[in-house]
Amino acid sequence: MAPTVTSMEASNAHEVPKVASIKTLADSASLTFVPSEYTYIKNPNEQGDANDPEHSIPIIDFALLTSGSLDQRAKMIQELRRACEEWGFFQVTNHGVPESLMQSMIDACHRFFDMPEEEKKEFQTRNLLDPIKCGTSFNADIEKVHLWRDFLKVIAHPEFNSLYKPAGYSEVSLEFSKRTRDVATEILKGISESLGLEADYIAMTMNWDRGLQILAANYYPACPQPDKAIGLPPHTDHGLVTLLIQNEMGGLEVKHKDQWVLVNAAPGAFIVNIGDQMQILTNDKYKSIWHRAVVNNKATRISIAVPHGPSLDTPALPIPELLEREGQAPKYIGMTYEKFMELQASPAALTKPCLHHLRVKHN
């Protein structure tokens, strides 16, 4: 499919958020402290040790999963099950996506964030599912504390969208989104099998062929007081699986056994996590794990999270075969993925995690 390169110059119907980008704020030479609107104090009593092997996310060897012997695949499926049950996070190595492509994607996003604010304005919008959307923080209109990040979100599937600037973004994002989606498709098959289902079960029930894929780039500039700000506060991802890459600066932390553990991924690996739709499908067997992004005072960190979900009109429901096998009642009611995403972006999500709104209430 030929890329649709969109300019939103023509539509000025959307209002532009009032909060300045974090890049503008961080670039102001005089900034030596975190302004009060950005002050976020983390709980200091929950730090895990990323160098402790107990606290290192599992590794899934993609080559063994997809082209190894039957024995090797069976072993990797077991590893995948353990990773999904115990961590909800894992890293995928040997996936065949060239490291140079990942680096080019990060560079292209960096060039986007480096463009003058005037040039980025045309991509600012408040509408959740606009195909291209850039901005700052999370929901600057309703949140109490602003985040130390800017973002660029581009929907790459079921329709590929792209930007006509910066130069090269469109081509590299087309290749990156395709290759990443291929890896996600294989991971989904592996997860299906790890649940004792046919490999294509989840893809079929979730209408994966029309499924949503978003290229969500995060820009976290160096922060003068990293302990007083947050890049992204604790949250879970809305989709089925998210694949993430980052530049050389770490900062992703996952909640594991009540501790925040810094993710140390192998260079070139994808960091993968389970999202809310998967937690619903598996009736809580595979949980979408809380994670956050912390900031540093040394250099800009860029991450590209690529959530993959069902098609927007598909409601996820606990899988009947699993319920029967485990003798369980469904814990969730159905809601289309689109409605779920709207809920996640609404004030309701500030008071209660999104999944709680879908929990079946037992009297």
Q: Does 291 sit near ligand AKG (CB under 6 A)?
A: yes
Q: Pick from Fe ion, ligand AKG, none: which does 293 bind, CB < 5 to 8 A by kind?
A: ligand AKG
Q: Which of 237, 234, 231 is nearest to 249 (CA)?
A: 231
Q: Pick from Fe ion, ligand AKG, none: which does 252 bind, CB < 5 to 8 A by kind?
A: ligand AKG
Pick out residues in 243-262 that bind ligand AKG (CB under 6 A).
Answer: 244, 246, 251-252
Cα–Cα separations (whole angstroms), residue 158 to 209, 223, 308, 320: 8, 36, 11, 27
Q: Does 293 sit near ligand AKG (CB under 6 A)?
A: yes
Cβ density class 65-78: b for 16+ within 10 Å, e for less: bbebeeeebeebbe
H-type alpha helices, 29-132: 62-67, 70-86, 99-114, 117-120
d(CA 180, CA 102): 10
Pick out residues in 294-313 that bind ligand AKG (CB under 6 A).
Answer: 303, 305
Please answer whether residues 260 and 46 qualify as being in contact, where contact means their C-beta atoms are separated by less than 8 angstroms.
yes
Q: Is the peptide bond before 166 cis (omega within 30 degrees of 0)?
A: yes
191 vs 216, beta carbon nearer ligand AKG: 216
Q: Does 105 sit near ligand AKG (CB under 6 A)?
A: no
193 vs 237, beta carbon nearer Fe ion: 237
Q: Which of 202, 168, 167, 258 is nearest to 80 (CA)?
A: 202
Smallest gap from Cβ 235 to Fe ion, in A, equals 6
Q: How many residues bind Fe ion (CB under 5 A)?
A: 1
Smallest gap from Cβ 199 to ligand AKG, in A, equals 27
Q: Does 150 sit near Fe ion (CB under 5 A)?
A: no
Please answer whether residues 156 and 214 qualify as being in contact, where contact means their C-beta atoms are separated by less than 8 angstroms.
yes
76 vs 243, beta carbon nearer ligand AKG: 243
Pick out residues in 218-237 that bind Fe ion (CB under 5 A).
Answer: 237
Instruction: Give the x/- contact pattern for ligand AKG in 221-240, rule: CB under 6 A.
Output: -----------x----x---
Encoded tokens for 137: 């923080």
150 vs 193, beta carbon nearer ligand AKG: 150
Q: Does 355 sit near ligand AKG (CB under 6 A)?
A: no
d(CA 246, CA 102): 9
Strand partners, 135: 151
Give the footprint of Fe ion on this chain (CB under 5 A). 237
Give the footprint of ligand AKG on this chain (CB under 6 A). 216, 218, 232, 237, 244, 246, 251-252, 291, 293, 303, 305
